[in-house]
Amino acid sequence: MHITDMRRAAVAGAFAALALAASAACTPGGSSASSTTAASDVSTDVAAAGNVTIKVSDFWGSAEGEWMTSLIAGFEAKYPNVTIDRTQEDWSQLLTTLNLQLTDADGPCIASANNGWASLGTLAKGGLVRNLDDYSKAYGWDSLIPATIARQNEFTTDFATIGSGSLFATPVARVSMIGLYYNVDKLKALGLKPPSTLAELESAATKAKAAGQIPFAYGSQDGGSAILLGLQALYGTADSINDYVYGDTAVSAKDTGLLDASKELKTWADNGWLTPGFEGVDYNTAVANFVGGDGVFRFEYTGSLGLSADQQSKFGYIQLPQVADSATTVGVGAAPGAMVISAACTHPDVAAAFLDYLMSTQAAQTAVDHGMIPLLHSDVTVPASMGTLSSEAAGAAAVGASDGFVPYFDWSSTTMLDTITAQMQQMYAGKTTPEQLVDAVDADRKTGLAGRAG
């Protein structure tokens, strides 16, 4: 061996040794999860806290942002000693940086996370957000929040299970759902009444197609899972979908109505009921098409159409009942954010009071005033001019009456949304069958569950 080669080898060896030493010496990651809030005294007395500033980071823009702003104003008027310093960030921007922000000593005290393992689960397990059980008792949140909604924010303290255990986030007094929107004028022109069952929807779609209309405004290029999850809620029972998402291995994906929903959707695609060339239509274009009048129906997340005041009443909302039991309504629905209190927050009592305020009757009424669907309180007044909103509120009420809220299906594993999106695209192209889609979903959840156990 030449002398320079030997030196190079020595340097390379030293680097390798250093890397190994670094790997072995310490394990990345901070404190292991432990609930740090064991016997701390909590207080609901905000005025006693003195002059405090609470930092809040959330991902709500436009109307939702205005809702937040007016609630902050209301809270500050109620407690003049409190200043809320709000930062609004783009949804994905906030979610991808929240773990770093909450580690920062100067970070937010309150933040909106996303439910499920990827966001809230990671933060709770990492000990970055507070266990809220003590505040739940102090404020009586356990009786205010319906069980199906509370489950969405719960983890057992060994972080093996989602959907039971301690409360790590609170909802807010409004809800985001998946349901069926229809174009009021187009339906009227076709001489049809708003469908009240899946069978009626199918016959309406057949008529719309025959009349040269696009039955369903849709695009699958960068997502478009709302239609599948909306259909799933018509087939699967609330219990089966809830249990599946929360990791009950006794339930498999085909028990949750996913197979029926996939088959139904494939038939719709084959019938030509979806926007022509939908494979190449992205989400924003699909929404714009529907609002612009191309398409009679659209499965969509509420609040995503971005309707202006004069577009209200041009679109109606339907929460279809279950196929097997038309007296029961199941719907994908959750508060549009999981409000967490940072473990590093120095004024958790004040922060908890603000979370309580975000769930108050006033917050629900403010939601309605800004055109959003109320949750937790039914004693709110929906203005007559807001036709779309009143149909949405009726849909949410129907789901509430059946105790039929189910979480977003993609909470079942961190990679589920990617898997479903890719599988749907393959199914439309005939590269996979509905059965294979369901198998892929099960495999994805299995991997996710194995990763958490190990």
Q: In the complex, what is the shortest distance from the CB of residue 114 to another protein, in angstroms, rounded to a whole number? A: 11
Measured between alpha carbons, how far is 59 from 57 in angstroms, rounded to an integer? Answer: 7
| Residues 6+ away with beta carbon under 8 Å from 286 | 217, 218, 219, 224, 275, 278, 298
Q: Does 453 bind another protein (CB under 8 A)?
A: no
Considering only 108, 127, 247, 434, the residue that binds another protein (CB under 8 A) is 127
**CA distances (Å), 148 to each of 53, 398, 401, in order?**
33, 14, 12
Residues 221-250 that bind another protein (CB under 8 A): 221-222
Q: 32 in the Ramachandran plot: left (φ > 0), alpha (ψ -120 to 50) or beta?
A: beta
Select from 178, 181, 173, 179 the least CA-distant residue to 368. Answer: 173
Q: Does 122 bind another protein (CB under 8 A)?
A: yes
Select from 198, 182, 265, 199 the least CA-distant residue to 229. Answer: 265
Q: In the complex, what is the shortest distance from the CB of residue 209 to another protein, in angstroms, rounded to a whole number? A: 19
Q: Does 306 bind another protein (CB under 8 A)?
A: no
Instruction: Return the structure tokens found at 36.
Output: 């740090």
Element (H, E) at 53: strand 52-58
Q: In the complex, what is the shortest distance from the CB of residue 377 to another protein, in angstroms, rounded to a whole number? A: 34
Residues 406-435 that bind another protein (CB under 8 A): 414-415, 418, 421-423, 425-426, 429, 431
Alpha helices (H) along 157-274: 184-189, 198-210, 226-235, 238-245, 258-270
Considering only 66, 200, 248, 279, the residue that binds another protein (CB under 8 A) is 279
Q: In the complex, what is the shortest distance from the CB of residue 120 to another protein, in angstroms, rounded to a whole number? A: 11
In the complex with another protein, which residue's Cβ is closer, 275 or 360? 275
What does the per-residue mask of binding to another protein show for 15-44, with x meaning CB under 8 A?
A: ---xx--xx---xxxxxxx-----------
In the complex with another protein, which residue's Cβ is closer, 132 or 440? 440
Compute how many residues bind another protein; rule: CB under 8 A.
45
Q: Specify the pairing of strand 110-113 against strand 52-58.
A: parallel
Considering only 99, 166, 197, 271, the residue that binds another protein (CB under 8 A) is 99
Select from 184, 190, 195, 275 the least CA-distant residue to 227. Answer: 275
Considering only 55, 125, 186, 298, the residue that binds another protein (CB under 8 A) is 125
Using CB under 8 A as the criterion, which residues of the chain lie in contact with another protein when the complex forms? 3-4, 7, 18-19, 22-23, 27-33, 96, 99, 118, 122-123, 125-128, 159, 220-222, 276-277, 279-282, 414-415, 418, 421-423, 425-426, 429, 431, 451, 454
